[in-house]
Amino acid sequence: MTLLARITDAVVGHHRALVLGGVIGALWIAPGYLGEYGAQILFRFLIALVLAEAWNLLGGYTGLVFLGTSSGVGIGGYVLVGLLNHSNLPLAIVIALAAAAGAVLAALAAPALLRLRGLYFTVGTLALAEILRLLMINSDRLGGATGLVLDRDPPELPGLLHLATALFAVGAAAQWFVSRGHVSVLLRAIRDDEDAARQLGVRAFRVKLSVLMAAMALMAAAGSIQALKLGAIEPYGMFGLRWSVDALSMVIIGGIGSRAGPAIGTAIVVLSGEWLADYPEVHLAMTGFLLVLVMRFAPRGLVGVGSALWRRWRPGRAQTT
Amino acid sequence: MIGPEAIANSLIAGVLLGGMFALTALGLSLVLGVLRLVNLAHGDFLVVGAYGGFYLLALTGLDPLLGLPVVAVAFALLACPIYLWLVRPLMARGVEAPMMTMFGISVVLQNVFLLAFSANTRSIETSYSARAWTLGPISIGWMYLIGFSISLVAVGAIHLLVSRTAFGRDLRASAQDPVAASIVGINVARVHTLTFALGAACAGVGGTLMGLAFSFTPASGAAYLLNSFAVVVLGGLGSVFGTLVAGIAIGVLQSLGGVVLGDGYRDAVALVVFLVVLALRPQGLMAGRR
């Protein structure tokens, strides 16, 4: 093999990494070119995309339908505001600690959540989210129903966008890590037939626990950056069911099990949310309706619909099929 | 300090409340046991029942208790198209797909309530809803007694339906092994549709009763769902008696929790019980005692 062919191979083999690197580079310099409004939407999109990717680790790669996104987001937000108000730790450390809090919460809840698979896991995650919300509403030391206010000024929007971009890069790396090699085989084995996987020596509990901790850490980090932007948090918002609805819907609507799916689903949900900004109930009802329709008619999401259409209408293929 | 009267009152209220919980949980448990479907919209079906009772009284003046048979039939009829069009086509794709569809329906219902009925807290005001029956220091709300009695009758009727009738035999066979059941000539598809309809009817009746006993909001569904699910997990699947006992246990725990910890923690009690049971004995405390 010539050197040239080798180089071409290496480039083609890693073109996804290159594309991703290009996207991240573009996002990094984007704040300078976007207006205030565009930057706001980009921020919302990035936070939502991280949540969708974290959900996809569980729902898409491991087959665990998760309804506890709000518990991760809420924990992250509260840990960030608490730490920033009561310590002088640098911001990066605080966000890392918020992510760690999400992972610890996952580890604590795992004995209850992961003992039974499938249906009970899903309802258990919903219960966890509700418990945390009730605790926050009722505990006066943590601000009760009115919540907490950040003592210091949050960073400007470009700084927040850089944080969100960095987190997106971490999320993309996690996605990349679980979608190749040994790890992807483990996850697929557990998703498709957990009993058979156990028989072959897969430590299912450990693998699922690791994925749950990673996903919750990402969700908590996203929640902490969201809280940093808001500057004031309250339990109804930070622990609201809405986060859980969005994360699940974005992945399912875009297309579960595909890489582009979560990004496309996130774009649809975030942009339609912007369009219906004055009618949040209409937006949520519409998202739920779209979710039901996609489940029924397009099991592989809009990406699946798109690729099926592409295959049918691609020029030159029409006669042969 | 909490006096003995308060404890006794909340114990009695908890038992009576638990009967209603048993009825709502039975709807969830039947669908889970027979169809392997977690109806994540179950709580919102209950809220539909509560609004149904509210508007029945407000618009026609008909007492919600007299309207219960109408509510049951209406829910069963409305549930059939949801099942046939949206859920059944997904059943072959595993247990998660239909569950996520029910989640989508739950999200739609919740937000339609918000749009149609506003976020206001509602309660159904009847001549008996605020009245209580007093005996010395003990006082029991009439609505609790009525709700408990109706729930007990409904739970008993479902028990007879499942254990004594031909349909019940088909239902039990389909729950145990749908393939074998269809081989011996049971129309499993029909059993599934009817079970889903029966579950919805339980939710409708239970929801109207809950709406009479408590105030509710468009967002009450999540708490109702998790409460019912706690009862199902505690009582184990497939046991009507276990569900009744578990319902009463959760009712008592909630009532006592509300008195001891404060009203804000009422709903949290059932959730904690639920997670603890899942962690310790995931097959349910009373499983194995059919």
pLDDT in tens, B238-253: 788 889 999 999 999 9
Is B133 strand, coil or helix?
strand
In angstroms, rounded to a whole number, what is the distance separating the alpha carbons of residues B13 and A172? Answer: 53
Rounded to two decimals, what is the model's pTM? 0.91
A113 at interface of B, judged by CB pairs closer than 8 A: yes
Confidence grade of residue A6 (pLDDT, cut at 50, 70, 90)? low
Of A188-202, B31-45, B85-99, B244-258, the poorest mean pLDDT is in A188-202
Nearest-by-Cβ selection for B272 from A131, A291, A295 = A131
- Residue A290: inside a domain, yes or no? no
Number of domains in chain B: 1
Is the pLDDT at A314 greater than 80, yes or no?
A: no
Confidence grade of residue B285 (pLDDT, cut at 50, 70, 90)? low
- Residue B289: inside a domain, yes or no? no
Structural domain that includes position B9: 4-118+128-280
- Residue A255: inside a domain, yes or no? no
Structural domain that includes position A43: 33-240
In angstroms, rounded to a whole number, what is the distance separating the alpha carbons of residues A285 and A245? Answer: 11
- Strands A148-149 and A232-233, sheet pairing: antiparallel
The interface predicted TM-score (ipTM) is 0.90
- Residue A273: inside a domain, yes or no? no
Q: How many CB atoms lie within 10 A of CB B185?
A: 7
**DSSP string across A46-61:** HHHHHHHHHHHIIIII
- Residue A59: inside a domain, yes or no? yes
> Residue A284 and residue B38: Cβ atoms within 8 Å?
no
Return the percentage of chain A with pLDDT > 90, whole number: 56
pLDDT at B94: 85
Question: What is the distance in angstroms between the Cα of A69 and the nearest Cα belonging to chain B?
Answer: 14
Enumerate the residues of chain A whose CB falls inside 8 A of the CB of residue B95: 118-119
- Residue A141: inside a domain, yes or no? yes
Segment A11-20 shows an average pLDDT of 69
The answer for residues whose C-beta is within 8 angstroms of residue A98's C-beta and 6 or more apart is A75, A76, A77, A79, A80, A83, A220, A221, A223, A224
- Strands A232-233 and B138-141, sheet pairing: unpaired
Is the pLDDT at A8 greater than 70, yes or no?
A: no
In angstroms, rounded to a whole number, what is the distance separating the alpha carbons of residues A274 and B68? Answer: 42
pLDDT at A13: 56
8 A C-beta contact, residue B50 and residue B219? no
Question: What is the distance in angstroms between the Cα of A151 and the nearest Cα belonging to chain B?
Answer: 28
Confidence grade of residue B21 (pLDDT, cut at 50, 70, 90)? very high
Is the pLDDT at A317 greater than 80, yes or no?
A: no
Enumerate the residues of chain B whose CB falls inside 8 A of the CB of residue A63: 96
pLDDT in tens, A129-174: 999 999 899 888 888 888 899 988 888 888 999 999 999 999 989 9
- Residue B286: inside a domain, yes or no? no
Confidence grade of residue A313 (pLDDT, cut at 50, 70, 90)? confident
The answer for residues whose C-beta is within 8 angstroms of residue B105's C-beta and 6 or more apart is A288, A292, B40, B41, B44, B82, B86
Q: Where are the alpha helices (DSSP H) in B4-93?
A: 4-35, 42-55, 68-81
- Residue B112: inside a domain, yes or no? yes
pLDDT in tens, A79-97: 999 999 999 999 999 999 9
Is the pLDDT at A2 greater than 70, yes or no?
A: no
How open is the CA angle A130-A243-B25, to the nearest 5 degrees? Answer: 35
- Residue B222: inside a domain, yes or no? yes
CATH classification of the domain holding B9: 1.10.3470
- Residue A248: inside a domain, yes or no? no
Nearest-by-Cβ selection for B86 from A138, A282, A296 = A296
8 A C-beta contact, residue A61 and residue A207? no
Cα–Cα nearest to A53, from A168, A160, A177, A225: A168
- Residue B90: inside a domain, yes or no? yes
Is the pLDDT at A320 greater than 50, yes or no?
A: no
Is the pLDDT at A117 greater than 70, yes or no?
A: no
In angstroms, rounded to a whole number, what is the distance separating the alpha carbons of residues A55 and A69? Answer: 8
Interface mutation vs chain A, best among B39, B91, B96, B232, most A CBs within 10 Å? B96
Structure tokens at B190: 């029909």
pLDDT at A271: 94
Kindly tell me the number of DSSP H helices and DSSP E strands found in chain B: 11, 2
End-to-end CA distance of chain B: 41
pLDDT in tens, B47-92: 999 999 999 898 988 888 998 999 999 999 999 999 999 999 999 8
Nearest-by-Cβ selection for B229 from A123, A245, A248 = A123
Number of domains in chain A: 1
Confidence grade of residue B170 (pLDDT, cut at 50, 70, 90)? very high
Q: What are phi and psi of B141, to 5 degrees?
A: -65, 135
Confidence grade of residue A12 (pLDDT, cut at 50, 70, 90)? low
